[in-house]
Structure 1
């Protein structure tokens, strides 16, 4: 009987969808190695392996982890991050099965193609007067509208969210080398918000914004100063404006929170912990760096990873929640993930413990433990979609009025 490797429900699926890996036709109680990351499994009495049921006995992870072969993948060299900046190219994963101690003998092989864009979703580069990005639109409509503020240009999160029924415009916070940017203008991002609201297929009365890290303080500022922002997801963001001053309508509205390069902690691997490098947002000298989130009319979902080694994200989240409570506001939710690191992404990508940080010019530790981080990504991705659907209700009549 020939050995076969199966991917259910299909060998082709969206990047953020789980697959079931099964192997059949092996000898009874035979051990095999699934290659990519690697894990050792023992077949059952029928010569089958099912990753939904069977535990990994050794390798990149242990125990029953149906998607462990994906999130535990590692690069051959240290400090490399899995990047999918353009949504046009699918993530292709090859699963192969080998007999233990016989790496040269392949028993079965199957390829999993994981596109970043769902069927019928259009991808259109757009350029405004002061912003540039990529617009993803699902077929038909109307749709809730979301602005994805990525720190540096990336299409993965936007294209996958569009594949779940949202119109998404992804815009980078840094359009030039970060060292060249001495100030940021909220007007430029407002232009992107306005552009989204004018799209004929948008059915929501306002827009949502999702952002991580530096994009978070821009998202909070848009909610505080710009009308039409109804829902903000801030992932491991700061409650103060970081690095450069923020301007709006030709006036500086928020001063930058300073940093101290001497507070970097270098580890044996060569990667640095930069968590303690930012100033204290609540210190008296930094009070003009805080974003006045109490001015916002929309809703917030604050997300923090407890093991974030880039920023003290949990403290910032708690401070944001406390500020809103102090002003009598209840328009926010908080989500905390123990064991997760800074780089929370859509699920089933390889976990990245460290890589080169293009803003601070250091290899840094991002924090997190691989399994807990992967679980957080699955939960958060579902929560983001639920939050936007709740707070960006669609009105078909409004869509018709635009067309």
Structure 2
């Protein structure tokens, strides 16, 4: 019997939906290598692979069978998805157009690395970001540049404002997925998009207050308040909004600095200067990486009150500014990206710069980081 690989649910699934991968028609105990790959909208290749051995009946079920090595090891049913790595170092897998899916190719090859043998079977599974019935509505209201995702049904729905970090643009993939879980979610751009300014040197809360008012007045948004979700600089913006603006019921800060480090905050006629940081405590590890105790020159309490309402702050274990939820030394993006500092000690032997970059990049993902992504994403959408 020829080998076959199946993915359940068949055909297509949400990006944040677990799937079950099964291979049938193998010989008992047969060593095989499973390989996943996809190309993003720019054509860049991302790949992951893992080694397995078939069970006694010649079947391989990734919910029961541990990986023996490769991009990950152990029982990781979704490992071939979260372990996808770029062919070129430092590229990040992001979804630029949520209206189209990622096509993930799954291949089963005979044998183990480094030289797996012939191709036994393959399939293509689509992972999408726009759940059925979710409405995508571009928003150009006053100065606000955003996209609103409304869940299917009559509503009104709990509202969320979603803000990303440094780099600007309008990123919709997290908002579209949240809408599939019953939240009316507004993905907000604040720089480097259409007529918005290039770069972002200061936090202007009046702009984000406009976005907040848009949500509070929308007939599909359940009041009296909305939640905020921010990553990196977006997390700092969310905490500033929750500190100064009304009708914020909850805030999730992911990898925010918890205080205004090098950006001023402006709101109406008031301005708060940046706290700054002590550059004397900057420590360079090598040409490409540095770490520092990000110590403000002044007390955070002197410039910004802590936001009211429910707050979830997710940061690194060694965050000396504020630790509300402590996790392994990791940065986190619930969609896909897991970034952290090079935890292992550097090899004693010197490395060429290109080799060093590749070595750091290969070490960046750990199963605990993927588990963290799933746990926080589940907490965000369930609470």
Aligning the two structures, in what range does the TM-score lie when normalised by the shorter sequence?
A: 0.7 to 0.9
Which residue of 366, 372, 376 maps to 2:368?
Answer: 372
Partner in structure 2 of residue 309 of structure 1: none
Q: Structure 1 residues 47 and 76 mapped into 2: Cα distance closer, same or farther (>3 Å)?
A: same
Q: Offset of 1:144 from its aligned partner?
A: 0.1
- Other structure's SS at 1:317 match: coil
Q: Structure 1 residues 226 and 155 mapped into 2: Cα distance closer, same or farther (>3 Å)?
A: same
Contact 1:70 1:350 in 2 (8 A): no
Q: How does 1:30-109 map to 2 (within 5 A)?
A: 30-36=30-36, 37-100=48-111, 103=116, 105-109=118-122
Q: Structure 1 residues 316 and 262 mapped into 2: Cα distance closer, same or farther (>3 Å)?
A: closer
Q: What value does the CA root-mean-square deviation take over the aligned residues?
A: 2.8
Structure 1 window deviating more from structure 2 (158-167 vs 100-109): it is 100-109
Q: Offset of 1:46 from its aligned partner?
A: 1.2
**1:26-45: per-residue Cα shift (whole Å, max 9, x none)?**
11211111012111111112
Measure, in 1, the Cα distance between the counterparts of 2:101 and 2:224.
33
Partner in structure 1 of residue 181 of structure 2: 164
Q: Structure 1 residues 79 and 383 mapped into 2: Cα distance closer, same or farther (>3 Å)?
A: same
Matched, 1:155 2:172: yes
Q: Offset of 1:343 from its aligned partner?
A: 2.9
Partner in structure 2 of residue 317 of structure 1: 322
Q: Offset of 1:256 from its aligned partner?
A: 4.4
Measure, in 2, the Cα distance between the counterparts of 1:353 and 1:241.
22
Structure 1: state its 5+ residue gaps: 307-311, 319-333, 356-362, 388-403
**1:29-74: per-residue Cα shift (whole Å, max 9, x none)?**
1111101211111111211101000111121111111011111121
Partner in structure 2 of residue 214 of structure 1: 233
Q: Offset of 1:183 from its aligned partner?
A: 2.6
Kindly tell me the number of residue pairs found equivalent between the two proteins. Answer: 348
Q: Offset of 1:231 from its aligned partner?
A: 0.7
Matched, 1:344 2:361: no
Contact 1:271 1:354 in 2 (8 A): no
Q: Structure 1 residues 275 and 139 mapped into 2: Cα distance closer, same or farther (>3 Å)?
A: farther
**1:157-211: per-residue Cα shift (whole Å, max 9, x none)?**
1111111110000113434699744433100001001001111111232010011
TM-score where L is the length of structure 1: 0.79
**1:225-283: per-residue Cα shift (whole Å, max 9, x none)?**
1111111111121221132211100321353434639825243xx5313444x4x23x4
Measure, in 2, the Cα distance between the counterparts of 1:163 and 1:289.
40
Measure, in 1, the Cα distance between the counterparts of 2:129 and 2:374.
16
After the TM superposition, which parts of structure 1 deviate over 4 Å for at least 4 consecutive aligned residues?
101-104, 176-180, 286-290, 350-355, 363-369
